Amino acid sequence: MAAQVGLEGLSIGALAEAMEMSKSGVFAHFGSRDELQISVVREYYARFEREVFQPAMEQPRGLPRLQALFKHWMRFTSAELDSGCIFISGAIEFDDRPGPVRDALIEAVETWMAAFTRAIAQAREQGHLAADVDEHQVAFEIHGLILVLHYEARFLQRPGALERAVQGFHNILARYRA
């Protein structure tokens, strides 16, 4: 529901109606709209972690792990192009609204990006990327691919956006290889 209507569109009443429950029953479980929204962010991140991060950790450190992270991230992203990404829509809805929901969104995205940045640093340490690679710059560029993929594929509905994002990843790796 949050992927379709955004976190801001998610409410105790809307969830109660969708679940055919009473508002008081849903309220008893979450306590507030903020807690409902934060629970959705946490569940979304847990799913992201299970589908993207954990499978990639089975790969050896370095380029194989970095490539697996991107592959799983792309698979996750591709699946949500029809419904939307809670992190992206949440960033738009809460970018200028301080509070606990924004804090939960930031924590989830920063946790993921720190793990992704670590994988890039490990690829450099393994000698798969150039010794002078700035892992933060590479993470920024790759994250940018995901963001523009959503924009191109979901908003503009341009065909070939997935292929261009994959090609962009290969171009980034080629530019930074050892």
pLDDT tens, position by position, 16-34: 888 888 888 777 888 888 9
pLDDT the model gives residue 32: 87
pLDDT the model gives residue 120: 98
pLDDT the model gives residue 13: 83
Would you say residue 13 lies in a domain?
no
Enclosing domain of residue 146: 45-176
Is pLDDT of 2 > 80?
A: no
Q: What is the DSSP letter of 134?
A: -
pLDDT tens, position by position, 118-175: 999 999 999 999 999 999 999 999 999 999 999 999 999 999 999 999 999 999 999 9
How confident is residue 4, by pLDDT bands cut at 50, 70 and 90?
Answer: confident
Q: Using an 8 Å Cβ cutoff, are 131 and 138 in contact?
A: no
Would you say residue 30 lies in a domain?
no
Would you say residue 37 lies in a domain?
no
Would you say residue 12 lies in a domain?
no
Would you say residue 4 lies in a domain?
no
pLDDT tens, position by position, 50-107: 999 999 999 999 999 999 999 999 999 988 887 888 899 899 999 999 999 999 999 9
Domain count across the chain: 1
Give the total residue count for the chain. 178
Would you say residue 81 lies in a domain?
yes
CATH of the domain at 120: 1.10.357.10
What is the C-alpha end-to-end distance of the chain, expressed in Å? 45
pLDDT the model gives residue 170: 98
Is pLDDT of 112 > 90?
A: yes
pLDDT the model gives residue 50: 97
> What distance lies between CA 29 and its chain's CA centroid?
26
pLDDT the model gives residue 9: 80
pLDDT the model gives residue 7: 85
Rg from Cα positions in the chain:
18
Would you say residue 18 lies in a domain?
no
Would you say residue 2 lies in a domain?
no
**The two three-digit tokens of residue 137, written as one number:** 């710059």
